[in-house]
Amino acid sequence: MAGIVLDGIDVEFAKPGAKTTVRVLDDINLEVAGEEFVCLLGPSGCGKSTALNLIAGFVPPTRGQAAVDGRPVTGPGPDRGVVFQDANIFPWMTVAKNVAFGPSVQGRLSGRELDERVSHYLDRVGLAGFGDHLPHELSGGMRQRVGLARVLVNDPPVLLMDEPFGALDAQTRITMQELLLELWDRDRKTVLFVTHDIDEALLLGDRVAVMSARPGRIKTVLDVPLPRPRSYDAMADPAFVELKNRLFHELRDEERHVHTGEGE
Amino acid sequence: MSSATETAASTGPVRAPARTATRPARKGNALRRFVLPFVVPVIVLAIWEYVGREQLLADGLFPAASTCVMALLDWLFGWQVSDAFTPSAIYSGTWLVHMGASVFRILIGYGIGSLLAIALGLLSGASSIGRSLVDPTVSAIRPISVTGWIPLALLLFGIGDSPAIFLTALATFFPVYVNTVSGVRLADANLVRAAAMLGASKRKILIRVTLPAASPSIVTGLRVASGIAWTTVVVAEILGAKSGLGYVLIDSYNQFRLDYVIAAMISLGACGYLTDRLVQWVFADSLRWSVRGDS
């Protein structure tokens, strides 16, 4: 039951070459319950990836505190698995070596036990038989499957996903979304999923937190009362369409703020 | 020179199929590949042979091409092929010994220099403390040309293997160090993040992520250094050794045996070329991942 708590978070970055700072996140308060799937939705440049990097421990808050499972975040760790936008797997390692990386650097497993665990997770993400391939031999979707498997193999209670399917073609994206739903239905984890795609947020999330831009704030948090297990067909549900409309208008207002500078 | 171009030509066809496979065969291809490359060498060899036989250069000391080839064969196999005018040199049949002496010095010097460079380059590239500790000293020493170190090296190490090893280590250090540092700095920060997220300690990240991520750049440094190593060992042997290809080069010059001088030059060309191919071959497999980029 590892939940995520963001409590009064501000993040400011130094402007390169100037002495002033830019406020990227402004007073972010958000709670994600244990085993809950929350999508963070917002226009590009609103700071949603920064929020995720903060929980991952890659970026420190300027003010406020992030906590996971009641413990403040001080740095990255294997209890919070991050799936990056561009897979970000190690290009010189084979698929199997990439997946084995976590348990092997932690010295938790080795030899046959590790091999078995790796092939189990390769199987679960649909990459059985691809263990000996190098990343550059794989398609974008397959690389993202490796990125997912190398995190799952650590069995983290929290999964942080940073637009992981954003760069994939439409068909592959749907396949990957359904794969993620299937994995999550079987093995519930606390998930924070960053996206700018309304359909994706509604299809995956228990709740959707909408962010405003510059500085990033949480604007609204919406419940998604669609039944589970969900699949692509959920998009035809009238409740889905209604929620989509609401989110569409929320987001369009934000895009307008970004372009006219009203949000500054 | 002739043996160096022969080696180059003999490896040519190894690469050629990949190139021709993608392109339809064209009419002038055979001409371009098997005739044109040899036009200039043949003309040069012919003039060289003529000038040598007629004793037109350097008061007749400049030898014909064939004399140089004979000297190389004599040096290699001890064939005693020389005639009354050019008695067999004291080097007859000693090529392997001298080549071995040079290679030994290069191996030790290159090994010490590049290992030290990779270690310090990792330290300097990956940690700001290491950078402040190492970089200023290296930057201060780097502009001193390696040849400038020769008197000091001879004074400190005497005549023999040691000054050559020292100078080779010194000369190989800088290109490897500079390339390691830049490779580490340019290594994808996101891969380091990913490794930390997966539970790797700082030390594990350095060895298992930063080092391989920097390896294409490090190998470039190692290749540059292998060329410099040969240059350096020759200079060191000219000035402070009693064996090695560089020593034969200067000693035969002192004996007015320009055929041996040129035989030594040919040997150096071949050795330098083979060394570069060897370094490439050794690392080719470990760099397979970076060939097609990592997008």
Q: What is the pLDDT of residue A74?
A: 94
Element (H, E) at A118: helix A111-124
Q: What is the pLDDT of residue B139?
A: 93
Residue ranges in chain B whose pLDDT is less than 50 = 1-21, 84, 293-295
Domain contains B134:
yes
Q: Report how many domains make up chain B.
A: 1
- Sequence-ordered list of residues with C-beta below 8 angstroms from that of B229, at least 6 positions apart, any chain: B106, B109, B110, B113, B168, B171, B172, B275
Do A77 and B294 lie within an 8 Å CB cutoff?
Answer: no
B139 min Cα distance to partner chain A (Å)? 26
Do A150 and B198 lie within an 8 Å CB cutoff?
Answer: yes
Q: Give how far Cα B157 sits from Cα of B102, B181, B236, Å.
A: 17, 30, 12
Do A92 and B204 lie within an 8 Å CB cutoff?
Answer: no
Element (H, E) at B213: helix B211-240
Contacts of A168 in chain B (CB under 8 A): none
- Strand pairing report for A207-212 and A217-223: antiparallel
A136 min Cα distance to partner chain B (Å)? 6
Q: Is residue A148 less than 8 Å (CB to CB) from chain B?
A: no
Contacts of B199 in chain A (CB under 8 A): 77-78, 102, 105-106, 154
A246 min Cα distance to partner chain B (Å)? 35
CA B110/CA B172 separation, integer angstroms: 6
Q: What is the pLDDT of residue A136?
A: 92
CA B106/CA B114 separation, integer angstroms: 11
Give the sign of the dihedral formed by CA B167, CA B169, CA B174, CA B176.
positive
* Closest CA relative to residue B247, chosen from B102, B108, B147: B102
Q: Is residue A139 less than 8 Å (CB to CB) from chain B?
A: no
Q: What is the pLDDT of residue A252?
A: 82
CA B91/CA B23 separation, integer angstroms: 49
CA B282/CA B279 separation, integer angstroms: 5
Domain contains B161:
yes
Do B197 and A82 lie within an 8 Å CB cutoff?
Answer: yes
Q: What is the pLDDT of residue B33?
A: 82
CA A154/CA A82 separation, integer angstroms: 11
Domain contains B231:
yes
Dump pLDDT digits (tens) for A191-231: 999 999 999 999 999 999 999 877 888 989 999 999 988 88
Angle at the Cα of A154 from the Cα atoms of A148 and A157, rounded to 5 degrees? 90
- Using DSSP, state whether B95 is helix, strand or coil: helix
Dump pLDDT digits (tens) for B80-130: 655 545 555 578 888 999 999 999 999 999 999 999 999 999 999 888 899
B225 min Cα distance to partner chain A (Å)? 24
- Identify whether the C-beta of residue B201 lies closer than 8 Å to the C-beta of residue A105: yes
**Assigned token pair, A220:** 């609204």
Q: Is residue A143 over pLDDT 70?
A: yes
Percent of chain A's residues with pLDDT above 70: 97
Q: Which residue of A has its CA nearest to B204?
A: A105
**Assigned token pair, A65:** 């505190």
Domain contains B191:
yes
Write the residue in A81, A88, A106 that is nearest to B190 by C-beta: A88
- Sequence-ordered list of residues with C-beta below 8 angstroms from that of B260, at least 6 positions apart, any chain: B71, B75, B89, B91, B248, B252
- Identify whether the C-beta of residue B33 lies closer than 8 Å to the C-beta of residue B96: no
Do B212 and A134 lie within an 8 Å CB cutoff?
Answer: no
Q: What is the pLDDT of residue B86?
A: 52
Do A56 and B194 lie within an 8 Å CB cutoff?
Answer: no
CB atoms within 10 A of CB A122: 23
CB pairs under 8 A between A and B: 73
Q: Give how far Cα B64 sits from Cα of B74, B84, B231, B251, B258, Å.
A: 15, 16, 26, 20, 10
Q: Which residue of B has its CA nearest to A77?
A: B197
- Identify whether the C-beta of residue B8 lies closer than 8 Å to the C-beta of residue B271: no
Dump pLDDT digits (tens) for A35-66: 999 999 988 888 899 999 999 999 999 999 99
Mutate to test the interface with A, among B198, B215, B285, B290 (most CBs of A within 10 A): B198
What's CA B86's distance to the chain center, in Å? Answer: 32
Mutate to test the interface with B, among A101, A109, A117 (most CBs of B within 10 A): A101
What's CA A149's distance to the chain center, in Å? Answer: 14
Q: Which residue of A has its CA nearest to B187?
A: A90
Element (H, E) at B145: none
Dump pLDDT digits (tens) for B224-237: 999 999 999 999 99
The range of the structural domain enclosing residue B236 comes to: 95-290
Q: What is the pLDDT of residue B34?
A: 86
B200 min Cα distance to partner chain A (Å)? 5
- Show the DSSP H helices in B78-141 as ranges: 95-126, 128-141
Do B208 and A101 lie within an 8 Å CB cutoff?
Answer: yes
CA A169/CA A140 separation, integer angstroms: 9
Domain contains B229:
yes
Domain contains B56:
no
Domain contains B204:
yes
Domain containing B242 — which CATH number? 1.10.3720.10
Domain contains B115:
yes
Q: Which residue of B has its CA nearest to A58?
A: B193
Do A90 and B288 lie within an 8 Å CB cutoff?
Answer: no
